[in-house]
Copies of this chain bind each other. A is one copy, B any other.
């Protein structure tokens, strides 16, 4: 990660500093001057009439009340949610991150989306072992003490299920960004480079693929090419500082930055090295893309560039008092690297304006974009379109369907459209 700060590959114009954004906002807010109600104006208290609330007149909770803290009870609506009809059972199912409620790029651990196939096991870390076998010089069985004794590395990277947006392939369906894009989170991950562990075992010349297996009841498996293992794959045990959460693979997870979340096998118990992929369920029946000609795309690991507007969105409409200036804000991400730029349209893709990137813009990591926007109160079709550092441009839904048909479930990364009504409400619409 040190190299992230050592050089800057992106053109400077694509990057907003805090200061330029603040300055732009200030100029505009001041010019308009009506965003804020001055004290004493209609319905607004003054220093003299401002109410002293009860919490200013009493003792609160003490320092021993919450050894591990929790959100305010007033934030009880900010939770992961599932879609009851989406899966046959809640033990092989999905919960979605409330992206619209979040700021910055870190997803707090309690809100990271979930996807698993036999429920969440509560694994005793002292009993957990990682077996490394197959085409290796030395078969290894490692406990967590051995794994955490290796020098650690830490990166901030997104994690996305390739089925994210899958419900939208054939038409707009979900009236909530939590469900259209919420199989997506971003955390600080700490672990050991997989290549370090593999070199301890010694890969034989015949070893070209790795089978990763989980210790949950599903014993989920994926075949991983050795190239990824020797590139940036990690064996992670910490997430946003603390140990992995149970639903994220506690105590040990394979993490393949930028790749299908499904390949980042949780509760990792086994790595078998072989000369070819294993063609198990999760890379044949599932996590493949049925094309119009009846063939299926397979091993489509990389999560290609995607973006979505979070303000406004169905759950965060602009229905309050009209303001002269709004901040259109959202997130962009690419499994291939950094975000180069993001463009915004308010007319369904005919005209585009360059957004500003805010804060850190790390590779394979959520990146915030922002556009200060004077909404004239007319209905709009709002879209964001990301271009990543490889030059890949987020496609329209029509372009995606032209190549992939409509039978796919996975890898729907097309430009998303929000219909903003005159009353400020936002609907999920699709433009063919």
List A residues at the B interface (Cβ < 8 Å): 1-8, 12, 15-18, 21-22, 24-26, 29-30, 35-40, 44-47, 50-51, 53, 55-75, 78-82, 89-91, 93-95, 101-112, 114, 116, 118-125, 127-129, 131, 133, 138-142, 145-146, 149-156, 188-190, 193, 195-196, 199-200, 215-217, 219, 237-238, 240-247, 250-251, 267, 269, 320, 323, 326-327, 329, 357-361, 368, 370, 372
Contacts and interface: CB of A to CB of B under 8 A. Distances in A.
30 contacts: A2-B15, A2-B17, A5-B5, A6-B12, A21-B153, A22-B195, A38-B138, A39-B140, A45-B129, A46-B141, A53-B124, A56-B269, A59-B118, A60-B120, A60-B246, A63-B91, A63-B93, A63-B116, A67-B95, A68-B78, A68-B111, A69-B112, A69-B114, A69-B246, A69-B247, A74-B250, A105-B188, A106-B240, A108-B242, A152-B327
A6 B6 contact: no
Contacts of A65: 120
A199 B30 contact: yes
A15 B1 CA distance: 9
A312 to B, nearest CB: 12
Contacts of A53: 123-124, 127-128, 215
A37 B416 CA distance: 51
Contacts of A216: 55-56, 60
A151 to B, nearest CB: 4
Nearest to A198: B26
